[in-house]
Structure 1
Amino acid sequence: MSSDAAAASRGSWASSLFQGLQKMGRSLQLPIAVLPAAGILNRLGQPDVFGAKGLGWNAVAKVFAAAGGALLDSGLGLPLLFCVGVAIGMAKKADGSTALAAVTGFLVYFSVLHAFPSGCTTGQTYTQAGLWSGVCVDSKATVTQAAYQNPGVFGGIVMGFLSAWLWQRFHRVKLVDWLGFFNGRRLVPIIMAFVGLVFAVLCLFVWQPIGAALTSFSEWLSALGSWGAGIFGVANRALLVVGLHQFLNTFVWFQFGSFTKPDGTVVHGDINRFLAGDPDAGQFTTGFFPIMMFALPAAALAIAHCARPHRRKEIAGMMLSVGLTSFVTGVTEPIEYSFLFVAPLLYAIHAVLTGVSMALSWALGVHDSFSFSAGLIDYVINWGLATKPWLIIPLGLGFAAVYYAVFRFAITVFDLQTPGREPDEVGDAMERENVK
């Protein structure tokens, strides 16, 4: 093989890998879209809302808390959501059989892991209290909750990916005539049952050192304090450019760190810990609020003000729409993509300033988080769980002023072709396309 052919082969392989990672990132958005419902239900179940410190409707609070907790459970609920979401998102022309195969494999994998408790110490006896739970009892009849290997969201993602891959390979397979009932799509769940078993056995042997490494990394990143928050903020915005930010988000928000709730349940991930009442959570989410609620809408305002006079009204309407979307819901991509490709340096400045916001918010002792994104809705819903949430407003106004000044200066001085500043022929063509 010539050097040119080898280089082309390597380029093709790298391109396929990159496209696969992007597809995986998009697949992760499907289970993440469920989290707003989980966050709202969980919040309504808190003591200061329907509970003893709020309306006093304890039974109602228990209903909401149980409903939200089922989706946010880092042992079963979240991993299962990610498993099904990735399976559907990764398989080409996926249908219900893809999800069925994913659930089949996941339940086998989950049950095998829970057949081998890892939390009982010497002198304690394990007693199974249910299909997926048990207790450790010592000679003095002291009962403690048993622990199990818990790959969490990571395990769900792996099972979902395996399900999609196997479905793609075997959903059209035809067996011998006397096994014809199990042809094609019906075969994949059967295969996934055995795959789930093998993966669970593998996790029993290898997950402990992997989990310990992830725990050490999360502790190191958390120990960096403001610097750790800032590094995450810059990396998050930088990876958004290539659509890989959900990889980073998933592990930091739903896997890293742990918090034990009063009932003994252990939750993982910065978002889950915050929603469960961990006062130390929010390191990797708080600083997004000033950027998404204030700074990026200010950037949209600067873009509108810098548009050419005859297009200013049109661009102002568009920027008002995307600015309100960012402020209310925390969805920022419409604004960011409006300047990402025409002004990469401006986007780099935005990424750095996001890191500064993350670091500064944490340094000032502000702790806040979200179930969907850092917009007004989550800000209001989680006010009672947050620490110093009022500081987000002056911080946001400060960053809004910085963003407006930086964007307006850069756009006018360097003549950046942000929306409304394109050459007339380009603008006319875009307008004709919109009319169609």
Structure 2
Amino acid sequence: MSSAGAAAPRTPWWHNLYGGLQKMGRSLQLPVAVLPAAGLLNGLGQDDVFGKDGLGWDNVARVFAAAGGALLDSSLGLPLLFCVGVAIGMAKKADGSTALAAVVGFLVYYKVLHAFPVACKAPTVLVGDQCVDFSSARAAAATYQNPGVLGGILIGLASAWLWVRFHRTRLVDWLGFFNGRRLVPMITALVGLALACLALWVWPPVGDALTSFSRWLSDLGAVGSGIFGLGNRALLLIGMHQLLNTFVWFQFGDFVKPDGSTVHGDIPRFLAGDPTAGQFTSGFFPIMMFALPAAAMAIAHSAKPHRRKEIYGLMTSMALTSFVTGVTEPIEYSFAYIAPALYAVHAVLTGVSMAVTWGLGVHDGFSFSAGLIDYVINWGLATRPWLIIPIGLCFALAYYALFRSIIVRFDLKTLGREDESEVEDVTKD
């Protein structure tokens, strides 16, 4: 027998961990939402727009390129964006002081890391913040331990936890000025210092391991792209695909820009003009612009006749959102949990699209997602972007045929095919 005063059962630790990872995945969407601005500014700064090969307004192009580059800077700009975004997303009832604490912690962390440059490779020697080759009178910027966006995410998590833990803390009267929210940035600065010291020691082997994994995927070529695409869609089901994306998209790989600065990550490298970038982004365009809209139409066509008009209206809206912006979650979540077989087909075919696109030499990327907006803006940076259209049309036909046949053959209860009793219950609710 149970008593009224019995304690409620404790939630298993893995449920809390899963919930926390899901929340962090959602928090990562906030800084990602800033990237379209960075992509647009960067695109306007290209030579074929306002630059020498376009309108010839070199100074205007330089302004746009510098503005976009500030947000895409893989050493400072991007990590800081992720730091603040995660801090705001993870802290309960966060306010401006949460973001301030995150900025304070990150700046301390960043400057401590940059106080210890990595030893220069012979024959260069370290002079100030440059590696100088006296025999040729050439110099290059020194490098530093760079956890990049992962470091920013870590500082953001620490800032959120510290804010939740200490924003209501009251000190003794003579220190009352530093009560609550004013205390959090001070503590975060000390934590940022400690994390920087830890990163100087821990990051080299961790970074090498992550780089080795990413290089393994990269060296597999089209197969590696396919594995990434499959994993990305599989993790979307539990809201954790951004955890896979972060290192590969924003940190893996190096590209030295004409001005001598170095950018990291598949997306920043592509937007900076690296012709070898786009391996882990190109294959999403056929899926998001063509295949998933076709799947949406297959679901609508499979609806019961008396509900078809209603479902067509809903799915058309979702299809346009996917095609124009690359936001696919409304379509994917419409069938992922009620028809897992369809989602399994979708995940596998996304991997196939990634492999086919890369195998055919298509190099394309995005600042936000693989929709029409990014496709048009980044046309000048891409390699063979026109191939995305025929590839996408082929995948659209495959998606429509497979979704339609599987839904009808196995009588899956996709939108518009639910039992009448379920529709009535939903309408009442």
Give the structure-2-normalised TM-score. 0.95
Instruction: Determine the structure 2 residue equivalent to 1:39.
Output: 39
* Equivalent residues of 2:140, 2:260 under 8 A apart: no
- Range with bigger deviation, 207-216 or 406-415: 207-216
SS of residue paired to 1:415: coil
Alignment pair present for 1:261 and 2:254: no
In structure 2, runs of 5+ residues without a counterpart are 1-8
CA distance in 2, matches of 1:325, 1:119: 49
Alignment pair present for 1:406 and 2:402: yes
Alignment of 1:58-73 (within 5 A): 58-73=58-73
Aligned partner of 1:219 among 215, 218, 241: 215
CA distance in 2, matches of 1:387, 1:139: 39
CA distance in 1, matches of 2:140, 2:71: 25
1:266 Cα deviation after fit: 1.2
Alignment pair present for 1:231 and 2:227: yes
1:111 Cα deviation after fit: 0.7
Matched-pair identity in %:
72
Alignment of 1:104-115 (within 5 A): 104-115=104-115
Alignment pair present for 1:309 and 2:325: no
CA distance in 2, matches of 1:122, 1:280: 27
Does the C-alpha gap of structure 1 residues 369 and 122 become closer, same or farther in structure 2, counting only changes over 3 Å? closer
SS of residue paired to 1:143: strand
Computed over aligned residues only, the root mean square deviation of the Cα atoms, in angstroms, reads: 1.4
1:163 Cα deviation after fit: 0.6
CA distance in 1, matches of 2:287, 2:364: 14
Instruction: Determine the structure 1 residue equivalent to 2:281.
Output: 285
1:96 Cα deviation after fit: 0.8
The amino acid that maps onto 1:178 is: W
- Range with bigger deviation, 210-219 or 283-292: 210-219
- Range with bigger deviation, 213-222 or 64-73: 213-222
1:119 Cα deviation after fit: 4.4
1:213 Cα deviation after fit: 1.8
CA distance in 2, matches of 1:384, 1:316: 35
Instruction: Determine the structure 2 residue equivalent to 1:137.
Output: 132
Does the C-alpha gap of structure 1 residues 260 and 119 become closer, same or farther in structure 2, counting only changes over 3 Å? farther
CA distance in 1, matches of 2:286, 2:415: 24
CA distance in 1, matches of 2:368, 2:102: 24
SS of residue paired to 2:279: coil
Alignment pair present for 1:386 and 2:382: yes
1:427 Cα deviation after fit: 2.0
Aligned partner of 2:337 among 314, 317, 341: 341
Alignment of 1:31-430 (within 5 A): 31-121=31-121, 126-128=126-128, 134-140=129-135, 141-430=137-426
The amino acid that maps onto 2:43 is: R
SS of residue paired to 2:274: coil
- Range with bigger deviation, 337-346 or 30-39: 337-346
Give the structure-1-normalised TM-score. 0.94
Does the C-alpha gap of structure 1 residues 174 and 226 become closer, same or farther in structure 2, counting only changes over 3 Å? same
SS of residue paired to 1:144: strand
SS of residue paired to 2:28: helix
CA distance in 2, matches of 1:164, 1:385: 37
Runs of 4+ in 1 over 6 A off after TM superposition: none
CA distance in 2, matches of 1:44, 1:37: 11
* Equivalent residues of 2:119, 2:126 under 8 A apart: no
CA distance in 2, matches of 1:358, 1:98: 39
CA distance in 2, matches of 1:197, 1:401: 55
Does the C-alpha gap of structure 1 residues 412 and 77 become closer, same or farther in structure 2, counting only changes over 3 Å? same
CA distance in 2, matches of 1:341, 1:202: 42
CA distance in 2, matches of 1:139, 1:381: 43
The amino acid that maps onto 2:120 is: C
1:430 Cα deviation after fit: 3.1
The amino acid that maps onto 1:39 is: G
CA distance in 2, matches of 1:124, 1:389: 41
The amino acid that maps onto 2:168 is: R
- Range with bigger deviation, 422-431 or 174-183: 422-431
CA distance in 1, matches of 2:122, 2:356: 46
1:169 Cα deviation after fit: 1.0
1:429 Cα deviation after fit: 3.5
Does the C-alpha gap of structure 1 residues 201 and 430 become closer, same or farther in structure 2, counting only changes over 3 Å? same
- Range with bigger deviation, 97-106 or 251-260: 251-260
1:309 Cα deviation after fit: 0.8
In structure 1, runs of 5+ residues without a counterpart are 1-7, 129-133
The amino acid that maps onto 1:102 is: A
CA offsets 1:188-228 (integer angstroms, 9 cap, x no match): 10011111111111112222222222222221110011111
Instruction: Determine the structure 2 residue equivalent to 1:4.
Output: none
1:53 Cα deviation after fit: 1.1
1:138 Cα deviation after fit: 4.6
SS of residue paired to 2:30: helix
CA distance in 2, matches of 1:424, 1:219: 52
